[in-house]
Structure 1
Amino acid sequence: MTRWTQTDMEKRLVRYADLKGLRNAFIDARTPGSDRKENFTIIGPGVSENPAQVVHIPEPHGFNVGAARQPFGCTNSQHSHLTAETFVVHTGKWRFVFGADKDEGYLDVEPGDVATVPTHMFRGFEKRDEGTGFLYVVLGHDDPGKVVWAPSVFEMAEDYGLKLLKGGKLVDTTLGETVPEGAELEQPPSAEQLKELATPPMDELKKYAIKAADIEGDPNSPLAGAGVEEAGVIGDVDGQDGIKAGPIVSHWDHGFALRRLKLETGAVIPAHSRAEQEVIFVQSGTLEVSWADGAIIMGAGDTLSVPIGLAHGFRNPASADAIAFVVRGASAPAAPQFAAAQAAE
């Protein structure tokens, strides 16, 4: 059995204050309105087009975790993904805008809300209130592929000296970089490709978002107990842990399930292990994660990857509720194995 020391586990912890972002991760980096955004790659390779992007935890998890931080009025340009793109709103008020020309509908979200966007359609997002906001983002699969940009993005990028090579590498001509001999430039999607990236009706897209107030604890969760709730958020199929599919169910494959944990002051979840990857993001409050050889206190905005099979428990040591979103690396997560039950056997 692998022993996980305090040092080992701290390497799997990414604190909000330690995030290393990039302002020129994508081809739209100099487009007015998009030039102040920061892109973060927390787990996995992500979709950044700039090799300077810092990857905090490169270990494959079956999904990627990233983030965007933007000030008021800052826009993330219209793009499409090949795999699931799921947003947890940490801070700020945001608008997701749909269609290649931003004219096919929108959804407004705020802290604690969750929205997931279908593959093969154009979406962008903008920060709508004063101050800086932070979106936590989960992308499906180990290799989420490259971003497909709307035609207008290519036109604006050309005006500001940015070119995108086939394969997804960004070339910044204002820094003296040149297109390598023989290299091909990525081209805007054709009219035929644009038809394949059509936006679903808004009535459908609304089903893929949920307000924080509408996320309800599931009493069937094995983690539920005194002062503890686990709520399903995204579940394309029934979990093996007693939590049913939904409330968000997609027609495309996420490859992961998203849950929300809520612990009242002093509440405890006993030591247990998981059969799949488990990544914890603290939305608000304070969460202690403990295991046989140590403990970590997490605060709002912190991310922790828990090793498969490690017996670990949770406790809320603070006076406010602890709320955390948990990505489980399977569409139908297995039931947790509680250490006490295993010891009794």
Structure 2
Amino acid sequence: MDLAKRLVRYADLVPCTNAFVDARTPGSDRKENFTIVGPGVSENPNQHVHVPEPHGFNIGAARQPGGCLNSQHSHETAEVFVIHSGHWRFLFGVNAGDDGHLDAGPGDVVSVPIHMFRGFKKLDDEVGFLWVVLGQDDPGKVLWAPKVFELARQYGLVLLKGGRLVDTTLGETVPEGAQLEDVPSDELIRRLATPSLDKLAQGHVPFSAMRGNARSPLAGPGVEECPVITPTATRDGFEPGPIVGWWPHGFNLRCLRMSPGASVPPHERDEAEVIFVHSGTLEVATPQGTLVMGAGDTFTTPKGLARAFRALSSDGVVAYVVRGGDEAGEVRFPERLAAA
């Protein structure tokens, strides 16, 4: 088993600068989109996919400079943002910010409900990075706000039914008989009404509010596993929350915090697990080899393979871990079972 093929380093991420129909709209034309695990929702068939293996969820990312805007859109499945760097504003409503906004910074997690319009803007001057989890193997196509279509046509981009993007500035033409994607009707827009800001705040967990679960099987000296998204009680000792959601997620999200030198012994899981290092240097040791991950790196662990963690950096490690399914499964510790 080649574990290196399951590791996507931040430095090796392959961006797509015209993944979506708003790619040339002024204010949105400097963003980079990434598909890290799974097919994602790109409208460009040339989008690079780093790890295509189905997981039951998708991992993507966005990188944007200061002031850059991701236009208003709606999703069919969960869209969860882990703020890796920078300060961001999530804008709600069919027109950006009409229905309010929510600000988030490094380490925060924001889950936006399905079937509502949202966009996001990078607030500070430096380039920022969002690590994004999308629900299901097929997260469906993006539904764009009417103004996005109007601006796209002005800059040579046409979206076809089924989600294919045609770039007329590159000499591409709309295939004969192809149908253009419908602009959302007023009736549809009414059905995608924005919940109250109080309800939307239930999908935001600031990094400073994350608390370790003492019942976590991974907890130990210098190790905390903090719940972030837990749709239902799990078999590894987590109660629902802090994000449950009245919309489906289909996965759990945890924050793993480790002090310098702290470790988690070899353990096994049967569900898909993807690890993202937010800060520090994390060693992942398996019977198939050992990997060292740095900030911004993503690794998808093979199901059933024993894995052990150790914090190598002097300032410890913060990592976010996605586990497939609403009810995360039990954890097995092979060495403990052998000694019993």
* TM-score normalised by L of structure 1: 0.97
1:291 aligns to 2:286 (yes or no): yes
In 2: Cα distance, 1:314 partner to 1:72 partner = 35
1:214 aligns to 2:209 (yes or no): yes
In 2: Cα distance, 1:129 partner to 1:137 partner = 20
In 1: Cα distance, 2:294 partner to 2:311 partner = 11
Say how many residue pairs are matched.
339
* Counterpart pick for 1:313 among 308, 311, 315: 308
* Counterpart pick for 1:249 among 244, 253, 259: 244
Taking only aligned residues, the RMSD between alpha carbons, in angstroms, comes to: 0.7
CA contact (8 A) 2:280 2:312 kept: no
Quote the residue 1:336 is aligned against.
Answer: 331
Consecutive unaligned residues of structure 1, counting only runs of 5 or more, are: none
Give the C-alpha shift of residue 293 in structure 1: 3.0
Runs of 4+ displaced beyond 3 Å? none
Quote the residue 1:268 is aligned against.
Answer: 263
* Secondary structure at the counterpart of residue 156 of structure 1: helix
CA contact (8 A) 2:3 2:288 kept: no
Quote the residue 1:277 is aligned against.
Answer: 272
Quote the residue 2:112 is aligned against.
Answer: 117
* Counterpart pick for 2:94 among 93, 100, 111: 100
* Secondary structure at the counterpart of residue 51 of structure 1: coil
In 2: Cα distance, 1:260 partner to 1:81 partner = 25
- 2:88 counterpart letter in structure 1: W
1:81 aligns to 2:69 (yes or no): no
1:41 aligns to 2:35 (yes or no): yes
In 1: Cα distance, 2:49 partner to 2:193 partner = 32
* Secondary structure at the counterpart of residue 26 of structure 2: coil
Give the C-alpha shift of residue 344 in structure 1: 3.0
Q: Identify which range, 333-342 or 257-266, moves more after superposition.
A: 333-342
Quote the residue 1:158 is aligned against.
Answer: 153
In 1: Cα distance, 2:253 partner to 2:288 partner = 28
- 2:54 counterpart letter in structure 1: P
Q: Please give the per-residue CA displacement for 1:247-277, whole angstroms capped at 9, x wherever unaligned.
A: 1110111000000101111101000000100
1:12 aligns to 2:3 (yes or no): no
* TM-score normalised by L of structure 2: 0.99
- 1:106 counterpart letter in structure 2: H
* Counterpart pick for 1:58 among 52, 58, 73: 52
Q: Please give the per-residue CA displacement for 1:268-306, whole angstroms capped at 9, x wherever unaligned.
A: 100000010000000000100001231000000000000
Q: Please give the per-residue CA displacement for 1:315-336, whole angstroms capped at 9, x wherever unaligned.
A: 0122111000000011110121
* Secondary structure at the counterpart of residue 341 of structure 1: helix
Quote the residue 1:187 is aligned against.
Answer: 182
Quote the residue 1:234 is aligned against.
Answer: 229
Percent identity of equivalent pairs: 61
Give the C-alpha shift of residue 104 in structure 1: 0.2
